[in-house]
Amino acid sequence: MEKYTNKNNMIYKKLVGNRKKIILVKGEPKEKNVLDFSHLPPPPDQVQLKPDDLKEEIARILTIIKHPENYETVVYSYKEKKWVEIPYVNQSHIYLNFVGNYYFKDSEDARIYSLNKKEYDEKKRFFYDPRIVDDYVDENNEKKFRVLKNKFNFIDRTVQTKSKSYKEVECQTDPAQNVNFSDGITQFSLFNIYEEDFKSKASLKQRKNTAKPVKNIPLKLSDSKQKSQQAIAQEQKAQEMIRMNKSAKVIERMINQNSFNEIILDYKFWDDNADSFRKEGSLLPLWKFPNSLTKRKCITAISWSKNYNDLFAVATGSYNFFKKTTGSIIGFSLKNPSFHEFRIETTTSCMTIDFNPRIPNLLAAGFYDGSVCIYDLKLISIPNALYCFKSETKHYDPVWQVQWQMPNVEDLENFNSVSADCKIINWELKKNHLFATELTQLNIQENDPNSKVEGSHKIIAHAGTCMDFNTQNEDLFLVGTEDGKVLEYSSLHRDKLLTIFDAHSQPIYSIKWNTFYKRVFITCSADFSVKIWDHRYKNPLLTYELSAPVSDVQWAPYSSTVFAALTLDGNIHIFDIYLDLEKPLCVQNVLLKKKRRLTHVCFSPFFPILVIGDEKGTLTSFKLSPNLRSIQKDTTINAISILNKEKFEQDKIRNILLQEAELNPELVETNRKAYKFEIAKPKKKAEAVQDDDEQEEKKTDKNIRGNRK
């Protein structure tokens, strides 16, 4: 350690390894706060330069060059079979190029700019000054001026068109996905491949040499192996066609979603805001399905699939006896409204269809000539209809309705059919054949007033037009007839008629049990009326007189008090007897053209929409507004519906109809406005489990006594 002193300053020089470090210990320099080290000896390892070398100026330039080792980068070239050096590539990039708008006054660019600006100003003044006429002067060397337009009568209009924005092709499509794969090839694998190829060529030449031409003799496959190969090839081709068909359907549905985007948005999210300020509802038209296939043919039946929420089928034909035509069964999907899903042509008019609720690919159909059949929708390309050709089991008149039933004791699929020949037949599907069993004949024994013998009777046969089996008790079913009567039968007692209802004065077109309450059913007829019944009473509970013959009626699948009635004048009437017993909530004309009659209506069991068909083959779907599909806004009702919706719906229609009907049935038609309804209270869990008819009757009797008091 060496120590140096300089007046008031003390400086230490410390040796740290091979480096020298000067540390200021005490004091500060008095002049400019700079230490003067000129008197100190230089370090021993410092380079000694001459004064001329110290005065020499050395220019320093910063340059960016590529690292030297990058010049020596090489790759192996498979084409030239050697290592090739990669050429140098300029790595400079321009990040910003700003062009200014200033010129030097003495530069050539500034001189050109000043000349051009003077010419531009003169032209601008000449073209845009409205007072200057043409480029000429009069005799007095004065420019002429034209009179300006009247500002009060002059109108100037401009149109600005929107320019179409273009995109590059690279931005419109997604880049193709790249996949890297690798494999190894060895000498023995190449040898095996060449050997197999040589053997196949040799066998092909041998077959050509040994083959002999055969004339006018059909080719017979005697070799079982060759047959199996052909069968495998056909099966592979069929599977490939199925895959192609599925892919085409998916693409077609994607295109339809784009073309029908507005309708799809209405179908999913539309709700009429006016329903919050009124009691009535409305229908929004959705898709109109193509009628090129059903043109000039009547829609005779509509059936919705119980398993696929977007699939439904329609049957086409003719109700005119003098105008017999062919029929068809066409399936549509809400996902593809522009084209049908399947199509089955029939030799005669198809009058009714019904999907199997357990096996979704089975479709039962009835025809105008009295025959019935079952179609397997999985094999539509191959005719796989199961007809019954036996004359003793076949209907002799048109089959108006078919309906699937639960499997019988032998666990066989079966359905029932009703026809105008006064028969109801049960059909069993056993080993791809239909076996018929006559369920009952629609014969009624009545007193003969013309007979002189007392107690004489006569048997009258009634032609059936429609039927419906009870959803909770399938042994009980109803049949509507052409003379307006409703017959109640039980399948346990085939020949025994339980009840006869004198329902209408004209033929009954439709009859339906209530979706939730097993005692109530509804009928419609050509006598302009719709009636609601309880099968325990012979008088109707409610009767509605409409403006035209009623062609079809349907209970709503989401409510026990909502139903839709279709009239031949083109109107659809939607009632909710829970909200209003007298007037419908919606009356809307759905015909696009006049002089057409509506034939059938069908609710979707999954969505708040319905489908309507007419006699010209037009098929249209509508969406229900919130007032037509909502429950009354009440806290007690909502609480009950959350706990048990089915029980709530049963109590709702029971309190509206049955209690008042048991109290005084005449009031149902004469004094509807005098009703005072009470909502059923929620039951306990122990009482909810017991759902016997006797207990329900006791409870209703107690309520009736309370109302009388």
pLDDT band at 525 (very low <50, low <70, confident <90, very high): very high
pLDDT band at 668 (very low <50, low <70, confident <90, very high): very low
Asked if the model's pLDDT at residue 345 lies above 90, the reply is: no
Asked if the model's pLDDT at residue 16 lies above 60, the reply is: no
Name the region of 130 (left: φ>0; alpha: ψ -120 to 50; beta: rest).
alpha
626-639 mean pLDDT: 59
> Do 357 and 413 form a contact (C-beta atoms < 8 A)?
no
pLDDT band at 674 (very low <50, low <70, confident <90, very high): very low
Pick the more confident residue, 217 or 550. 550
pLDDT at 657: 75
508-535 mean pLDDT: 90
pLDDT tens readout for residues 581-610:
888 888 988 876 667 888 999 999 888 889
- SS3 label, residue 666: coil
Residues 6+ apart with CB under 8 A from 478: 467, 468, 486, 487, 488, 489, 511, 513, 521, 535
pLDDT band at 165 (very low <50, low <70, confident <90, very high): low
pLDDT at 148: 58
> Do 374 and 429 form a contact (C-beta atoms < 8 A)?
yes
> Do 485 and 464 form a contact (C-beta atoms < 8 A)?
no
Q: How many helices (H) and strands (E) does the chain have?
A: 12, 37
**Spatial separation of the C-alpha atoms in residues 396 and 59, rounded to whole Å:** 118
pLDDT band at 212 (very low <50, low <70, confident <90, very high): low
Asked if the model's pLDDT at residue 55 lies above 90, the reply is: no
9-32 mean pLDDT: 44
pLDDT at 30: 44
pLDDT at 219: 41
Phi, psi (degrees; rounded to nearest 5) at 127: -80, -30
Q: How many CB atoms lie within 10 A of CB 146?
A: 10
Asked if the model's pLDDT at residue 145 lies above 70, the reply is: no
Question: pTM for the whole thing?
Answer: 0.60
Radius of gyration of the chain from its Cα atoms, rounded to whole angstroms: 47
| Candidate from 140-144, 333-337, 414-418 with smallest mean pLDDT | 140-144
pLDDT at 17: 42
The interaxial angle of helices 645-653 and 635-643, nearest 10 deg, is 130
Domain ranges (residues) in the chain: 2-55, 273-446+457-630, 633-709
242-248 mean pLDDT: 83
- Residue whose token pair is 């522009």: 338
Asked if the model's pLDDT at residue 479 lies above 60, the reply is: yes
Pick the more confident residue, 692 or 343. 343
295-299 mean pLDDT: 82
Kindly report the three-state secondary structure assignment for every residue of 6-69. Answer: ECCEEEEEEEECCEEEEEEEECCCCCCCCCCCCCCCCCCCCCCCCHHHHHCCCCCCCCCCCCHH
> In percent, how much of the chain has pLDDT > 90?
11
145-167 mean pLDDT: 61
pLDDT at 72: 60
Highest mean pLDDT: which range of 115-119, 217-221, 451-455, 576-580: 576-580
273-285 mean pLDDT: 82
Asked if the model's pLDDT at residue 369 lies above 60, the reply is: yes
Asked if the model's pLDDT at residue 696 lies above 60, the reply is: no
- Residue whose token pair is 């996905």: 177
H or E element that contains 623: strand 619-624
Phi, psi (degrees; rounded to nearest 5) at 642: -70, -40
pLDDT tens readout for residues 403-448:
998 888 888 888 999 998 888 898 988 877 888 888 888 877 766 6
> Do 108 and 121 form a contact (C-beta atoms < 8 A)?
no
The domain 273-446+457-630 having CATH identifier 3.30.479.30: the answer here is no
pLDDT at 301: 92
- Residue whose token pair is 């006559």: 438
Asked if the model's pLDDT at residue 522 lies above 90, the reply is: yes
- Please give the torsion angle defined by the CA atoms of residues 247, 252, 257 and 262, in that order, rounded to the nearest 10 degrees: -170
